[in-house]
Amino acid sequence: MNKIVREAISKIEEMEKNTPCGKHMITADIRKLSAKLFRQIKDKSIDNVFLLCEELLEEHTWALGVIAFDFAYRMQGQYNESTYNIFYQWLKEYVRGWGDCDDFCTHAFGELLRQNKSLFEKVVFWTEDNDFWVRRASAVILIPSILKNDYDGINPLVISDCLMNDEHDLVLKGYGWMLKSYSQVNQSCVKEYLIQNHKKMPRIAYRYALEKFDKETRTMLMQM
């Protein structure tokens, strides 16, 4: 086991012992630890860092996953053609819930898509995956590109169409969140989409999508 991984495990165990009963470790504190550990890595080539990420992920704990995904995000300047396959493998093998999905996809994986928008064609197929977190990921991964207003070649509405009546609430919330983000950069488009689809869109997704509209528009949309 790499010494960075050993230290990460040791520090997380120490943080857990010092966390008051009934409380949880704070993500921000784990990210501070991650930043400190990352500075200690001598070989910061993408291959070496991704090996460390893999070791951390193989421990199958939330906190070490936060560190692994943070390391991966810090390597954004070295992403290359093989990065998609690595990240997709991690999504399928190590992500098991909405928290991991959102952390990974709004940072490292989302940044990869922003850099290489041709990957959107692959993301569309995620909407048919058996794993709910992969279907949620198909929407959440778009958020970094959308919020940076850098989404040419990415069509958020294609994803929401595919996920429209998904059977899992967390997927519905995921594409609702994505539409909410989209409304911050293209409000008229999202407003028209909600008007057109209000009869068939589940209300849980619908409510998420309209959160960033002004009060008058929200009221109008909710009354439909």
**Considering the domain boundaries, does residue 58 fall inside one?**
yes
Q: What are phi and psi of 160, to 5 degrees?
A: -65, -35
Task: Give the mean pLDDT of 55-69.
Answer: 96
Query: 7 and 51 share a domain?
Result: yes
**Considering the domain boundaries, does residue 120 fall inside one?**
yes
**Considering the domain boundaries, does residue 90 fall inside one?**
no
**Considering the domain boundaries, does residue 92 fall inside one?**
no
The CATH number assigned to the domain holding 206 equals 1.25.10.90
Query: 124 and 186 share a domain?
Result: yes
Query: 109 and 219 share a domain?
Result: yes
pLDDT of 22 reads 76
pLDDT of 1 reads 74
**Considering the domain boundaries, does residue 111 fall inside one?**
yes
Residue 137 one-letter amino acid: A
**Considering the domain boundaries, does residue 97 fall inside one?**
no
pLDDT of 16 reads 86
Q: Are residues 178 and 156 in contact, defined by beta-carbon separation less than 8 angstroms?
A: yes
**Considering the domain boundaries, does residue 64 fall inside one?**
yes
73, pLDDT greater than 80: yes
| pLDDT band of 102, cuts 50, 70, 90 | very high
pLDDT of 20 reads 82
Type and span of the H or E element at 197: helix 187-197
Structural domain of 116: 104-224
Query: 109 and 166 share a domain?
Result: yes
pLDDT of 159 reads 98
**Considering the domain boundaries, does residue 99 fall inside one?**
no
pLDDT digits (tens, 9 = 90+) for 146-203: 999 999 999 999 999 999 999 999 999 999 999 999 999 999 999 999 999 999 999 9
Residue 6 one-letter amino acid: R
Query: 125 and 187 share a domain?
Result: yes
Domains in the chain, number: 2
Query: 109 and 220 share a domain?
Result: yes
Query: 183 and 142 share a domain?
Result: yes
95, pLDDT greater than 90: yes
- Check residues 49 and 2 and name the one with the higher pLDDT: 49
Query: 58 and 140 share a domain?
Result: no
Task: Give the mean pLDDT of 29-51.
Answer: 96
Query: 217 and 124 share a domain?
Result: yes
Query: 116 and 39 share a domain?
Result: no
